[in-house]
Amino acid sequence: MQRWGIAVVVTVRVAVTHGVTMSHTSDDRGDIYLGVRCPMAAALATTVEGLDADYLNGVLAVDGARVTEVAATRIGTGQVALSLLLELTWDRDDPELPTQLVAKIPAAEAESRAAAAMHRTYELETGFYADLTGMVSVPHPRARHVAFDAASGDFTLIMEVAPGVVGDQLAGCSVPAATAIVDAAVGLHAPTWDRAEELLAYSWLTRPDAATLEMRVGAYRHLLPGFIERFSPRLAPEVIDAARWLGERLVDVALAYRSPMCLVHGDFRLDNMLFDPSADADDADVSVTVVDWQTVGLGRGSVDVAYALGSGLSADDRRRVEESLVARYADGLAAAGVGVADEVTHDYRLGATSGLAMSVIASQIVASTARGDEMFAVMAERHAAQMMDNATMELVGG
């Protein structure tokens, strides 16, 4: 966004929403902005109190109507950002005006904000909504206002309310829900398949390199002893053995992928999805909306799919439908003119390691809770079984 003063504009996009011109600009400071043009100070709301009627009138400006009252209620349990349901009262009766919106703002806790800055979660999510939603067809909430200030690291994201119920990582999902997830993955990956060089024009978007791999391997190996100590009484020996093996072969796994890079979610699992009617529904028409784009980046599409199916389905359900769902994903890519089935299957088998790696690392860097620990244990079990069922170890030499 161009602040008052001189800025070098590198990208500009204009869209029209509810009769109001919406503009996006990224400047040489790395600011990200989508909304009614205004100074960055007016574009940001970083506290619940700041999300008042005056602020929303300034950044929404919907057809001249004005918000008169706002009630904010916290939703979700996110630790790096605060998510709120906003109940809006307007100065007129108009069924086209939104009575509810969702807002995401920085976490109040300094430690959470520091973690967000380290992992660039605010920058990544606002970048996705400002720059990339028009490129992909994966179902996602529609953004009404996006602002990220590179200098302070603060952000504000205002979105329309998406239908559905949040998935439950512990309970898992039904096969119809998993099918909807696979189709959503095609909508994310196919439009960006093998377009890494083009996508890197967005300065906030990066791809894995030797330095990031070294950092990830180092983090995994550093945190693995703590994981083993905490979870050995809960997990079977073969799960612990798989975690140890991965610590030795993470580099080999990373170097063995065959398919080109595309845009990936990076945390493609049930807790980051909304299901309508619900994730456990056996209704063939269940739909999914993907949320929490704080880990978006460039990677291998099959890893998103392996992570979602391995963590979301019970082992028995996964074994029963895994081959057909991976084939559905490959067919979806092929119908879009991209992807090679053999590469997709090969990388899916390697991608089974992603959930185990996430379980080890994440369990050691977030606060330990009874539900959280059980979720990480279940994920570790499911992904270790997925690795063994797919002979993942054999792909990288045992």
Q: DSSP class of residue 82?
A: E
Helix, strand or coil for residue 312? helix
Residue 18: the pLDDT is: 32
Please say if the pLDDT value at position 5 is more than 70: no
Q: How confident is the model at residue 281 (pLDDT cuts 50, 70, 90)?
A: confident
Helix, strand or coil for residue 71? strand
Q: How confident is the model at residue 36 (pLDDT cuts 50, 70, 90)?
A: low
Please say if the pLDDT value at position 39 is more than 90: no
Q: How confident is the model at residue 9 (pLDDT cuts 50, 70, 90)?
A: very low
Please say if the pLDDT value at position 23 is more than 60: no
Helix, strand or coil for residue 90? strand
| CA distance linking residue 131 with residue 26, whole number of Å | 9
Q: Mean pLDDT score of the chain, rounded to an integer?
A: 90
Please say if the pLDDT value at position 6 is more than 80: no
- CB-count exposure of residue 388 (10 Å: 0-12, 13-18, 19+): middle
- Tens digits of per-residue pLDDT, 302-335? 999 999 999 999 999 999 999 999 999 999 999 9
Q: In the structure encoding, which two tokens stand for residue 111, read together? A: 């430690």
Residue 29: the pLDDT is: 52
| CA distance linking residue 191 with residue 174, whole number of Å | 27
Residue 388: the pLDDT is: 97
pTM of the model: 0.90
Q: What ranges make up the beta strands (E) of 56-204? A: 67-75, 81-90, 100-106, 143-148, 155-160, 165-166
Give the chain's length. Answer: 398
- Tens digits of per-residue pLDDT, 222-259? 999 999 999 999 999 999 999 999 999 999 999 999 99
Among the residues of the chain, which ranges form H helices?
40-43, 53-60, 110-119, 121-127, 175-189, 196-199, 210-231, 237-255, 301-312, 315-335, 341-365, 370-389, 392-395
Q: Are 295 and 267 in contact (CB under 8 A)?
A: yes
- Tens digits of per-residue pLDDT, 53-78? 999 999 997 878 999 999 999 998 77
- Tens digits of per-residue pLDDT, 290-303? 999 999 999 999 99
| CA distance linking residue 24 with residue 1, whole number of Å | 7
| CA distance linking residue 318 with residue 348, whole number of Å | 13
Residue 282: closest CA among 178, 167, 169: 178
Q: How confident is the model at residue 398 (pLDDT cuts 50, 70, 90)?
A: low
Of the listed ranges 19-28, 273-282, 372-381, the least confidently predicted one is: 19-28
Could you tell me the domains of the chain?
9-160 (3.30.200), 165-395 (3.90.1200.10)
Residue 52: the pLDDT is: 97
Q: Are 36 and 59 in contact (CB under 8 A)?
A: yes
CB within 8 A of 99, min separation 6: which ones?
A: 87, 88, 89, 90
What is the average per-residue pLDDT within 121-144?
Answer: 96
Neighbours of 61 (CB within 10 A): 20
Q: Are 144 and 35 in contact (CB under 8 A)?
A: yes
| CA distance linking residue 197 with residue 192, whole number of Å | 10
Please say if the pLDDT value at position 115 is more than 90: no
Q: How confident is the model at residue 190 (pLDDT cuts 50, 70, 90)?
A: very high
Q: Are 327 and 337 in contact (CB under 8 A)?
A: no
Neighbours of 137 (CB within 10 A): 14
Residue 71: closest CA among 97, 100, 43, 46: 100
Residue 154: closest CA among 44, 60, 59: 44
* Residue percentage of the chain with pLDDT more than 70: 92
What is the average per-residue pLDDT within 69-98?
Answer: 92
Please say if the pLDDT value at position 14 is more than 60: no
Residue 366: HSE in the Cβ half-sphere, 13 Å Cα cutoff: 18
| CA distance linking residue 383 with residue 312, whole number of Å | 10
What is the average per-residue pLDDT within 265-275?
Answer: 96
Q: Are 189 and 262 in contact (CB under 8 A)?
A: yes
Residue 31: HSE in the Cβ half-sphere, 13 Å Cα cutoff: 27
